[in-house]
Amino acid sequence: MKVRVKLISMDGPPPIGFDQYGEADITLAGEATVTNLLQSLCLGHDETYMVLVNGETSPPSVRDRQTLGDGDEIAIFPPMQGG
């Protein structure tokens, strides 16, 4: 299955495979979950990221069982920082 991932306001250059705007089509095997996607992107502790799946919030408590479907759009935001 293929999903569209948008990395929003991430530090540094986009990961390999992402365009200059932080977007990429990612191919996932089988019934992948939001947690599987975050792990495949090496984003560390997934609970620190805000994740939207098709515009709906995906809280950390459901990510390990929230399956993704072909054509889903996932937006990932880093933890908020203040100062």
25-75 pLDDT, tens digit per residue, is 999 988 999 999 998 888 766 668 899 999 999 999 999 999 999 999 999
**Total-model pTM:** 0.87
Contact between 35 and 46 under an 8 Å Cβ cutoff? The reply is yes
* Domain locations along the chain: 2-77
CATH architecture observed for domain 2-77: Roll (3.10)
- What is the Cα–Cα distance from 10 to 75, expressed in whole angstroms? 11
Strands 23-27 and 73-77: unpaired
3-class SS at 5? strand
DSSP result, 19-81: -TTSEEEEE--SS-BHHHHHHHTT-S-GGGSEEEETTEE--TTTTTT-B--TT-EEEEEPPP-
